[in-house]
Structure 1
């Protein structure tokens, strides 16, 4: 008998133990709990309900069929994980894709790891295990992180420890949830990547965000192209810093006025006016006598 066959036989034996009402295990302290919790056991598929905390919502039918074909030939290679709810009643923690494919393949039992956990522990296990083991799209991952924040009150630092991701990585996923729902759908459906989404987050105006999103799709823009487009958009929003006009005052001194003053005083006159209408008149003189002459003219 091969090692795999021995494990399957053991799984069937433990399955029989679980169906014995006299040995109903409800906590890790119950008799025979050590034989069940954490072990691989063959469970009836009909006794397993889908986990309401499951973050994955999209399942590709073609790949499910491929997995079902593989399961028919090779069996379920990686056991699913469940938590015990009641006598012969279980809830899926992780492995929904394998469970769905097993049903398609016509299996009645499936190898399972059994855990005993409360709802919060189950939610954490479901989200963490799915984030780590499955190819969730970026929005599904972001929603999983957000649920850990909202429902379990985990900090980003605590999530970092649990999922083995940098805090900055978690923050980048969470920022995707600020995008317009249409753009989030575009990421989920694979029309744009997470990189495109991260660039679009920097645009606050939803209409502008949507316009660039449609350009990305219609023109098949790369992430770098998108970043350039976003940068150009933001540069266009900045106020133009041109040179100040020569004069924005309420009056402008014409050259004729300057010449008239110069003619009266008998010397060249310079007049400067700032934007507030304030200014100064400069009257040069050649000597003390010339200065006294100009003063006399001004006094009239």
Structure 2
């Protein structure tokens, strides 16, 4: 492995030699630059752009855009340069009304372009946890990198990358909440402690409705996990008719229901995650308010 690749986790200066120095800078029209299709950050907040645009109007664009020159076929009469790093600065410069921007031209493969954009966003803490996880997965899927190689390239531990990728296993509803910043990465990681989707979604609703902190969420997940482990049977031991009854109860009550049968009887456990859910269940079963 080359020295250049071993330095990829240490910042843009290691990623692109000379990227942090002003040598080789040129000024080009903002219209001669285009965005990076591999940009891992999809949500660039309007308010954040306005604040950066105001700063650019007052102080100028202090850092150049790192770009690569497009081939004639890629440009096809359009923008000549594609951004590697600095897309938010470019958008803010246009919002501020700048006609030209400083750029630093570098050669980069598609893989390096994604790596560079990812590293810049990570170092500036710009990425939503789900955007970061998707970018890691893109490096794995498109370029055949192992999780260890991804970690080395972006300057993270392998455990950090592995935990990030686990977020992609969450149900879409939870991923949407994470992407919209209704829950944090800590909340999402806590939900991974639950293996059943319906439990994950009910805890999600409890987080949003009751404003649970990450620590409170972890404690709720711990209690639920302990309860399930203490009372449930292995799925292989559960008779098909018992599973079918559980499903019918679940559909009828709109919540998780666990049915445990034995020769002497059994238990029917109805789960709820807030006082509001308890009231709704009571209304449905008893037909009056508590």
**Length-normalised TM-score, structure 1:** 0.64
Q: Deviations over 1:120-165 (max 9, x none)?
A: 3322222233333341111111111111111111112112221111
Greater CA radius of gyration, 1 or 2? 1
Q: Which residue does 1:137 correspond to in 2? A: 128
1:41 equivalent in alignment to 2:26: yes
Structure 1 equivalent of residue 69 of structure 2? 84
Please give the alpha-carbon distance, in whole angstroms, between the structure 1 residues aligned to 2:25 and 2:170.
42
Candidates 91, 94, 105, aligned match of 1:103: 94
Q: What is the aligned-residue RMSD (CA, Å)?
A: 2.1
The whole-number CA distance in structure 1 between the counterparts of 2:48 and 2:229 is 49
- Alpha-carbon distance between aligned partners in 2 of 1:198 and 1:71, rounded to the nearest angstrom: 37
In the TM superposition, what whole-angstrom CA distance separates every residue of 1:198-241 from its partner, at most 9, and x where no partner exists? 11012121111000000011111111211111122112222549
Aligned-partner SS, 2:161: helix
Provide the C-alpha distance between the structure 2 equivalents of 1:158 and 1:40, rounded to a whole number of angstroms.
32
Tell me the distance in 2 between the aligned counterparts of 1:183 and 1:141.
16
Structure 1 CA distance for aligned equivalents of residues 41 and 23 of structure 2: 24
1:227 aligned residue: 218
Deviation at 1:38, TM superposition (A): 7.0
Deviations 1:83-110 (A, max 9, x none): 0113671111111111111001111111
Q: Which has the higher contact order (CA 8 A, sep 6+)?
A: 2
- 1:213 pairs with 2:198: no
Q: Aligned residue for 1:169?
A: 160
Match of 1:53 among 18, 38, 51: 38
**Count of matched residue positions in the alignment of Structure 1 and Structure 2:** 206
- Is the contact made by 1:67 and 1:101 (CA closer than 8 Å) also made in structure 2? yes
Task: Classify 1:188/1:240 alpha carbon distance in 2 versus 1 (closer, same or farther; 3 Å).
Answer: closer
Q: Does 1:64 align with 2:64?
A: no
Number of the residue aligned with 2:191: 200
5+ residue gaps in structure 1?
1-36, 242-274, 276-300
Determine helix, strand or coil for the equivalent of 1:92: strand
- Displacement of 1:167: 0.8
Q: Which moved more, 1:203-212 or 1:112-121?
A: 112-121
Alignment partners' CA distance in 2, 1:81 and 1:170: 25
